[in-house]
């Protein structure tokens, strides 16, 4: 078969391969964009700074922020917990005194950098106090005193606390994916639900 006939036959195959590759990339991009909607991420530099300061897993902190506030710095819970890591104002004052944050005011909990620093300190404190990650997350959610009571009585946590811990732990692998493929985080939109 002459060369020009072979090339004429090869062109449709090359176009199909190119279109297949473009379609595959488009599907992957849309899938990752959908993942970003379900698992938003923001304030990555601030999270990294606070996580590093207290020796925490960056993916764990991201997952916890998602569970607490869905990355909304202005979030306020029905019980009065504030900001990205949903810190109660009294707990914020207690933490601020421990880390030497002078002139603390509850309004500072709306500041992402302050909220993340206080929340990461508190998470580190819970991880140091309780023997495993699950119990530390129970304490972050329900309070250390309550977890001490559960452990002393051999009880399980509240169902909502158990669900919270599952939600945090399930999302850690997604945030690890984000950290591994950080370029995709920069090129896909994030719109929290």
Q: Which of 53, 68, 134, 160 is catalytic?
A: 68
Distances (CA, A) of 77 to 85, 115, 118, 123, 132: 11, 14, 17, 18, 27
- Looking at the chain, the number of H-run helices and the number of E-run strands are 9, 0
Active-site residue, 68 included: yes
What 3-state DSSP class applies to 82? Answer: strand
Phi, psi of 93 (to 5 degrees): -65, -40
How crowded is residue 102: how many other Cβ atoms within 10 Å of its Cβ? 6
Task: Say how far apart CA 190 and CA 24 lie, in whole Å.
Answer: 21
Catalytic positions are 68
């Amino acid at each position: 078969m002459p060369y020009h006939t072979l090339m004429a036959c090869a062109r449709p195959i090359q176009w199909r391969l190119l279109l297949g590759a473009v379609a595959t990339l488009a599907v992957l991009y849309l899938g990752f964009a959908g993942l970003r909607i379900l698992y938003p991420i923001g304030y990555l530099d601030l999270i990294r700074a606070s996580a590093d300061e207290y020796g925490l897993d960056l993916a764990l902190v991201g997952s916890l922020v998602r569970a607490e506030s869905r990355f909304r710095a202005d979030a306020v819970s029905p019980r009065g917990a504030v900001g990205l890591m949903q810190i109660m104002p009294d707990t914020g004052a207690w933490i601020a005194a421990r880390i030497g944050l002078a002139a603390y005011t509850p309004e500072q909990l709306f500041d992402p950098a302050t909220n993340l620093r206080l929340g990461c300190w508190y998470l580190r404190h819970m991880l140091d106090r309780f023997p495993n990650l699950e119990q530390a997350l129970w304490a972050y959610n329900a309070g250390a005193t309550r977890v001490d009571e559960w452990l002393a009585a051999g009880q399980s946590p509240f169902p909502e606390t158990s669900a919270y811990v599952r939600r945090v732990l399930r999302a850690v692998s997604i945030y690890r994916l984000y950290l591994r493929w950080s370029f995709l985080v920069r090129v896909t939109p994030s719109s929290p639900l």
